[in-house]
């Protein structure tokens, strides 16, 4: 009897799980996994630091002082100071603002534009799809960093222009994935059913196709942050995005290279900041993908 | 097979045209051109001098005319000359590409030699400590910026080891040792990142294949585990892995840009980086053309290699 009762129990909890909204269900699974929870906490701390930087940072990010090239831990500079006496910890905290700003904007714009293009291209089909896909091919056949460089060299180097360039590339890449998902969803009988009762193409697209490609879109969103922050870092490193005196991690790292033999911390800490941030977003992205699409477990 | 290859090349032409128009057009949207940039360096010149210089460089024509001239040149094997140095673009590309191609090949070798064994171990010993270490290794490779790794590597070499190789280019047939010294560190860094992606793909492809019935059959008939894994599973898992390696090529080229700049290696990446900044249109167009051709060729090779791995695939 005891075993029968247990069977009943699991059935009930299964039913309870099934009655929850799938989004709630997925969130619970993500938070319950140790990797998901751990990386989530790191990201929340990062967001908190970015938002509160003006209040909690020990110094002013641009304040020049006499304490030049102070080693970490000395004279109140926990992570040391740079060649004109600016505090590295403070600048890293402000750098988090730039990285997250870039991450949110590129992922937001890249996903939105990518979804619109992907939905439209996949749903329209025919020659429209053909033309759009050839343009996508063309853009994808060119290294992202060189394309971003070309765009930035036209519109001028700045954080926002860097965002625009990265978002464009992200949008193009995402549109291809979303189009693929749309193509497979489009073949389902329920789409035919919706059409046969006279639903307009726009309605079919928004009400019947979009909800079924949400999982791949969410996976793209969660994977997008890491790569957006990495590309911004690379562009700033090459002097093509954030401009001095603003504190972007890539820019700090690039400047730190000049005095690396005597003060390696100038390059080390900004580099670690990028690595930890991107690692957290990538780990969280993996968990999100495992939860939303178990078939893709472990792949990229 | 021959017809298949020709068809693929023809299909790729529109994309090639789009990417060259796109990049060349994009750079011309910028206010000012190479003449103004050159004049700002050479001091005072009259308007006539400026016009003469523009005419000489072909910049007085409209963009469509310039583009048609360039395309005609391409068909005659002429990619034009650099607006800055006056050197032949095709020749420059040929010299610079030796560096990039060697770096790309070495990075690929590093990536494949680490990624495939890691991916196999990770899948065969799923959820063991070896799996976790391998996965940590790959996700770190995806997260740590290559320019950061390169910077730290240069620091360790110069300060801790007290020795830095010369990152100039020496052809391998002249001095293989000097050549290796210049390439081994950049190749390790580019290869690491590439291996991270490949190892993840190998792992998931192997996991998928290991669950198949034919693997169970192979084990059931008493085959040694080594043969089951290498002969039955790995071969079937390789197709997605090769696709991902092929599709990483543009990514690889992008990675080369940064690494070449950090190590100041004279490759195509640094060439493109410098040319974009000084608006040297013919050089930029040449680099774009070069990378796009490389991309198309590698995709074609990837598709053709499927037929070698999976004899059921035939191209016609």
Q: In a structure prediction context, what are the per-residue pLDDT tens digits for chain B, which is 316 residues long? A: 778 888 877 877 887 888 778 777 777 776 666 666 666 666 666 777 777 777 767 777 777 887 888 888 888 878 888 877 878 889 999 888 888 888 988 998 999 999 999 999 999 888 889 998 998 999 999 899 999 999 999 899 888 887 777 777 778 788 888 888 888 999 999 999 888 888 988 888 888 888 888 888 888 998 888 888 888 888 888 877 887 777 777 677 777 888 988 888 888 888 988 888 787 878 888 888 888 888 778 777 877 777 777 777 776 5
Nearest CA in chain B to A281: B143
Using DSSP, state whether A277 is helix, strand or coil: helix
Question: In B, which residues are within 8 Å of A263 by CB distance?
Answer: none
Report whether pLDDT(A180) > 80: yes
Q: Which member of B145, B152, B154 has the closest CB to residue A233?
A: B145
Nearest CA in chain A to B122: A298
| Angstrom distance (rounded) from CA A235 to CA A229 | 10
Question: In B, which residues are within 8 Å of A300 by CB distance?
Answer: 142, 197, 200-201
Query: In sequence order, which ranges of A141-294 are alpha helices (DSSP H)?
Result: 144-155, 159-186, 189-196, 201-203, 214-237, 249-256, 265-292
A202: number of Cβ within 10 Å: 9
**In 3D, which of A286, A237, A224, A42 has the Cα closest to residue B136?**
A286
| Angstrom distance (rounded) from CA A32 to CA A23 | 14
pLDDT by residue (tens digit) across A69-114?
Answer: 877 877 777 787 887 778 888 899 999 999 999 999 999 999 999 9
pLDDT by residue (tens digit) across A191-204?
Answer: 889 989 988 888 98
Contact B258 A145 (CB under 8 A): yes
Full 3-state SS string of chain B: CHHHHHHHHHHHHHHHHHHHHHHHHHHHCCCCCHHHHHHHHHCCCCHHHHHHHHHHHCCCCCHHHHHHHHHHHHHCCCCCECCCCCCEHHHHHHHHHHHHHHHHHHHHHHHHHHHHHHHHHHHHCCCCHHHHHHHHHHHHHHHCCHHHHHHHHHHHHHHHHCCCCCCCCCCCCCCHHHHHHHHHHHHHHHHHHHHHHHHHHHHHHHHHHHCCHHHHHHHHCCCCHHHHHHHHHHHHHHHHHHHHHHHHHHHHHHHHHHHHHHCCCCCHHHHHHHHHHHCCHHHHHHHHHHHHHHHHHHHHHHHHHHHHHCCCCCCC
Q: How many CA atoms lie within 13 A of A15 on its CB side?
A: 6
- Cα-based torsion angle of the residue sequence B29, A107, A118, A282 in order, rounded to the nearest 10 degrees: 120
CB B266 within 8 A of CB B273: no
Per-residue model confidence (pLDDT) at position A3? 46
A22: number of Cβ within 10 Å: 11
Per-residue model confidence (pLDDT) at position A285? 87
| Angstrom distance (rounded) from CA A67 to CA B309 | 63
Q: What is the mean pLDDT of chain A?
A: 83
**In 3D, which of B16, B23, B15 has the Cα closest to residue B63?**
B23
Q: Which has more pLDDT, B253 or A116?
A: A116
| Angstrom distance (rounded) from CA A187 to CA A193 | 11
For A142, residues 6+ apart whose C-beta sits below 8 A from its C-beta are B19, B23, B250, B288, B291, B292, B295
CA distance A239 to chain B (A): 11
Q: Which has more pLDDT, A73 or A122?
A: A122
Contact B23 A147 (CB under 8 A): yes
Using DSSP, state whether A125 is helix, strand or coil: coil
**Cα A256 from chain centroid?**
26
Nearest CA in chain B to A227: B143
Question: In B, which residues are within 8 Å of A251 by CB distance?
Answer: none
Report whether pLDDT(A48) > 90: yes
Per-residue model confidence (pLDDT) at position A64? 79
- Which of B135, B147, B199 is the mutation pick for testing A, counting most A CBs within 10 A? B147
For A36, residues 6+ apart whose C-beta sits below 8 A from its C-beta are A29, A30, A283, A284, A287, A288, A291
Per-residue model confidence (pLDDT) at position A108? 92
For A98, residues 6+ apart whose C-beta sits below 8 A from its C-beta are A159, A232, A242, A246, A247, A248, A249
Per-residue model confidence (pLDDT) at position B200? 87
Is the C-alpha dihedral spanning A180, A183, A188, A193 positive or negative?
Answer: positive
| Angstrom distance (rounded) from CA B185 to CA A104 | 34
Per-residue model confidence (pLDDT) at position B33? 65
CB A121 within 8 A of CB A128: yes
**In 3D, which of A266, A275, A239, A243 has the Cα closest to residue A80?**
A266
Using DSSP, state whether A81 is helix, strand or coil: strand
Per-residue model confidence (pLDDT) at position A1? 41
| Angstrom distance (rounded) from CA B150 to CA A202 | 50
- Which of A35, A143, A229, A252 is the mutation pick for testing B, counting most B CBs within 10 A? A143
Q: Which member of B18, B26, B200 has the closest CB to residue A138?
A: B18
Least confident segment among A12-16, A64-68, A260-264, B237-241 = A12-16
CA distance B140 to chain A (A): 7
Contact A275 B29 (CB under 8 A): no
Question: In A, which residues are within 8 Å of B142 by CB distance?
Answer: 226, 278, 282, 300
Contact A142 B291 (CB under 8 A): yes
Contact A234 B29 (CB under 8 A): no
Cis bond upstream, residue A245 (ω within 30): yes
Residue A98 parent element (H or E) = helix A88-124
pLDDT tier at A294, thresholds 50, 70, 90: low
| Angstrom distance (rounded) from CA B180 to CA A71 | 36
Give the DSSP per-residue string, A146-160. Answer: HHHHHHHHHH-SSHH
CB A285 within 8 A of CB A226: yes
| Angstrom distance (rounded) from CA B267 to CA B93 | 9
| Angstrom distance (rounded) from CA A173 to CA B224 | 43
Per-residue model confidence (pLDDT) at position A116? 92
Q: Which member of A147, A282, A297 has the closest CB to residue B143?
A: A282
DSSP state of A293: -
pLDDT by residue (tens digit) across A228-248?
Answer: 899 889 989 988 888 888 889
């Amino acid at each position: 009897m005891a075993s029968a009762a247990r069977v009943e129990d699991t059935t009930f909890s299964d039913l309870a799980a099934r009655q929850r909204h799938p989004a709630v269900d997925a969130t619970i699974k993500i938070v319950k996994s140790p990797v998901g929870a751990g990386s989530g906490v790191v990201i929340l701390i990062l967001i908190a630091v970015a938002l509160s930087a003006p209040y909690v940072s020990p110094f002013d990010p641009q304040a020049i002082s006499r304490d030049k090239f102070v080693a970490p831990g000395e004279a109140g500079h926990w992570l040391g100071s740079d060649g004109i006496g600016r505090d590295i910890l403070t600048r890293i905290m402000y750098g988090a603002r730039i990285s997250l700003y870039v991450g949110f904007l590129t992922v937001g714009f890249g996903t939105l534009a990518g979804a619109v293009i992907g939905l439209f291209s996949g749903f329209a089909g025919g020659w429209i799809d053909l033309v759009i896909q050839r343009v996508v091919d063309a853009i994808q056949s060119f290294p992202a960093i060189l394309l971003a460089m070309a765009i930035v060299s036209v519109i001028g180097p700045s954080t926002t222009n860097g965002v625009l360039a990265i978002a464009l590339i992200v949008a193009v890449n995402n549109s291809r994935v979303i189009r693929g998902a749309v193509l497979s969803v489009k073949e389902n009988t329920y789409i035919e059913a919706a059409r046969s009762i006279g639903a307009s193409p726009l309605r079919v697209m928004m009400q019947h196709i979009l909800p079924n490609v949400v999982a791949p879109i969410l996976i793209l969103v969660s994977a997008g942050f890491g790569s957006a922050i990495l590309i911004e870092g690379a562009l700033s490193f090459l002097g093509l995005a954030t401009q001095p005196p603003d504190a972007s991690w890539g820019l700090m790292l690039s400047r730190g290279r000049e005095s690396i033999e005597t003060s390696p911390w100038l390059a080390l800490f900004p580099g670690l900041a990028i690595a930890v941030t991107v690692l957290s977003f990538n780990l969280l992205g993996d968990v999100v993908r495992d939860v939303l699409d178990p078939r893709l477990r472990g792949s990229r | 097979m021959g017809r298949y290859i020709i068809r693929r090349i023809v299909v790729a032409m529109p994309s090639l045209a789009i990417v060259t128009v796109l990049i060349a057009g994009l750079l011309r949207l910028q206010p000012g051109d190479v003449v103004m940039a050159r004049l700002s360096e050479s001091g005072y010149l009259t308007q006539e001098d400026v016009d003469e210089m523009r005419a000489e460089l072909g910049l007085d024509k409209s963009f469509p005319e310039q583009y048609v001239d360039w395309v005609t040149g391409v068909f005659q094997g002429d990619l034009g000359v650099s607006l800055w140095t006056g050197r032949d673009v095709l020749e420059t590309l040929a010299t610079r590409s030796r560096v990039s191609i060697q770096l790309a090949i070495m990075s690929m070798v590093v990536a494949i030699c680490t990624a495939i064994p890691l991916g196999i171990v990770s899948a065969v010993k799923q959820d063991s400590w070896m799996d976790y270490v391998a996965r940590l290794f790959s996700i770190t490779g995806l997260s740590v910026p290559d320019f950061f790794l390169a910077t730290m590597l240069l620091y360790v070499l110069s300060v801790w080891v007290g020795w830095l190789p010369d990152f100039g280019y020496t052809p391998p047939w002249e001095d293989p040792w000097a050549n290796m010294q210049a390439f081994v560190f950049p190749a390790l860094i580019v290869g690491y990142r590439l291996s991270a992606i490949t190892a993840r793909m190998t792992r998931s492809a192997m996991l998928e294949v290991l669950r198949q019935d034919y693997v169970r059959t192979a084990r059931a008939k008493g085959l040694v585990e080594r043969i089951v894994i290498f002969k039955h599973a790995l071969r079937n898992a390789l197709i997605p892995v090769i696709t991902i390696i092929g599709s990483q090529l543009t990514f690889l080229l992008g990675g080369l840009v940064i690494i070449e700049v950090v190590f100041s290696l004279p490759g195509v990446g640094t060439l493109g980086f410098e040319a974009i900044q000084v608006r040297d249109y013919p050089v930029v167009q040449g680099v774009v053309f070069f990378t796009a051709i490389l991309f198309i060729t590698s995709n074609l090779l990837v598709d053709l290699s499927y037929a070698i791995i999976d004899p059921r695939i035939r191209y016609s």
